[in-house]
A = this chain, B = another copy of it.
Amino acid sequence: MSGRFIGIGVGPGDPELVTVKAVKAIKNLDVIVCPEARDGKGSFAFDIAKGYIPENVKILTLAFPMVHNRDVMEAAWKKNAKIIEKEVKAGQNVGFLTLGDPTVYSTYMYILPYLDTNIPVETIPGVTSFCTVAASQNLPLVLWEESFGVVPLKKGGAAVEKALDVYDNVVIMKPSHDARVLAEILESRSLADKFVLISKCSTDEQQVSTDIKTLKEGSVPYLSTLVVKRKGLK
């Protein structure tokens, strides 16, 4: 009998912010894919889930190069999909743990188009970092008839500027990419006191800053999320 391939959101960092469904699925895994990239993202997801992972699980370390050459990345997705397929067809339940939610910026999603369509696939949603950041401050991300946008910070910040033009509430993912440019954007729009930056939200290492200096000094950790509220934080 065939196993299944399951994308599992493990939430933002606190092992208790994993869902009951994800815990059950993890306890039932035979194989866990451990994506290897420069950023070590995969291993943090593994750390979060550690307490739920069966002892005799097989770890399948797969390389997912994060490069600007799409062909190189596609070749890796294709190759990794075949490896996963082989395990599932041999009856194994193969899990891919993703930080936060699997539908929001996860490597897991790149594999799916390359899998044999006969492979049973399930995606278990998780708690996102941006909801956790807002919750940690008892702050609404969005109220009433407001809208919000989620954008990754790219060098130069054009996408961030566009989002700030349109929305009252903007979540900026990966603010570490170019924190100084982000500081300039926020200052130029009189938003220097209307954001909260949180790193490793919901973990023991959580750091919170509402000080523009943190961005200016460019010392923002990798696993950070920034929420801008144009109407202010209160």
Binding site for B on A (CB under 8 A): 7, 9, 11-12, 14-21, 23-24, 101-106, 109-110, 112-113, 121-128, 131-132, 134-136, 138-152, 154, 159, 162-163, 166-167, 234
19 more A-B residue pairs beyond the given contacts A101-B141, A109-B140, A125-B134, with a C-beta to C-beta distance below 8 A: A9-B127, A11-B19, A12-B125, A16-B24, A19-B20, A101-B127, A103-B134, A104-B131, A104-B142, A105-B144, A109-B143, A121-B138, A122-B138, A123-B138, A124-B135, A148-B149, A149-B149, A149-B166, A150-B150
- Across-interface contacts of A106 in B (CB, < 8 A): 140
Chain B residues lying within 8 Å of A136, measured Cβ to Cβ, are 123
Are B163 and A163 in touch, CB under 8 angstroms?
no
Nearest-neighbor residue (CB-CB) of A105 within chain B = B142
Q: What residue of chain B has the Cβ atom nearest to residue A126's Cβ?
A: B127
Question: How many copies of the chain does the oligomer comprise?
Answer: 2
How many Å lie between the Cα of A198 and that of B34 in the bound state?
Answer: 32
Known interface pairs A16-B24, A20-B23, A126-B127; A103-B147 also in contact (CB < 8 Å): no
